[in-house]
Structure 1
């Protein structure tokens, strides 16, 4: 089932409930043969960051931000995971405009984390393993377009070096059976998405798209990375209330 491209206002919950009921039948014929992107057990990166005191940020793009945000909200050491847009300008960082695929943005998630509890390399391992499929070029699952591309938005030279090294490592070992198409972009600002996109997985666990495409990713995180999995998600709305 593809992602809905409409914007919801004050009647969001009622609309979502109606869509959930109507969407079940639609999902049966729209859905691919296998739900979500398959998780792949991969080794940790040979190169990782030097742990420093204080919080750091990482920005990853890997398809619809609902699922990527939902995964990283369950990672220990992550203090915030915000859905948004990276790769384009501030003027075009609007859901409907980004959805045209012509703005240069990718749906992304900005992760704030404590390197003493989870490193950048560990975040990359989760990103490549369970958050998305890094062999899909300009699409993820049912969603098509460059706004759903696989991209690491490196914040500095160290992050870029670690990501480059890890991609080379995974390609060399043929971890995915196909080449990794994840791109690296630097010097790109991150813009938070509209409020109704934040915490979408946690607030709408019965929404058909979430059930089919994204909840399996959180379950895969729990199975493959029990050492970093947290039952209690870090919510954007809780942090801003």
Structure 2
């Protein structure tokens, strides 16, 4: 499952409105709960690297601010090791011309996002953000065979 949330800020709980001020220090994150028998952590990281630009600091496309930083939060030493190795491999791949700046840190101060963020794309497919940002990314991942089409 994928649960939208916030992590890495100054407090254990926050709201979308608060993080949009840029003062909480939280990043917008997707908490992924997965079955290793179905998909590996490394496969999830492969999707992560290809689904966004990991070379920009505090920015994703037109969205600017610390809440848009590229970050991988891990829960244990094994995840830290795999994430670090994956970042090195991705950086060496030459896929991006600039160096990867993704932060890798132990998870802290995580809280679930408000309910309206759940299944946002499925529930709002005609919203401009979904049409112009999310759909092209999903189409690219399907085209590359990274994910399957719904």
TM-score by length of 2: 0.93
Residue 42 (structure 1) aligns with: none
From 4, 29, 43, give the equivalent of 1:108: 29
* In structure 2, distance between residues paired with 1:112 and 1:193: 15
Structure 1 unaligned spans of 5+: 1-79, 232-241
**2:2 aligned with 1:81:** yes
Check the 8 A contact 1:82/1:192 in 2, yes or no: yes
Deviation at 1:90, TM superposition (A): 2.1
* In structure 1, distance between residues paired with 2:123 and 2:107: 32
Q: Secondary structure at the match of 2:6?
A: strand
Residue 124 (structure 1) aligns with: 45
**2:67 aligned with 1:147:** yes
* In structure 1, distance between residues paired with 2:8 and 2:46: 22
Deviations 1:118-159 (A, max 9, x none): 100000000001x21101110000100001000000111111
Residue 92 (structure 2) aligns with: 172
Deviation at 1:166, TM superposition (A): 1.4
Report runs of 4+ in structure 1 exceeding 3 Å deviation: none
Structure 2 unaligned spans of 5+: none
Residue 204 (structure 1) aligns with: 124
* In structure 2, distance between residues paired with 1:173 and 1:140: 21
TM-score by length of 1: 0.59
CA pair 162-213 structure 1, distance change in 2 beyond 3 A: same
Give the greater-gyration-radius structure (CA).
1
Q: How many residues align?
A: 149
CA pair 209-187 structure 1, distance change in 2 beyond 3 A: closer
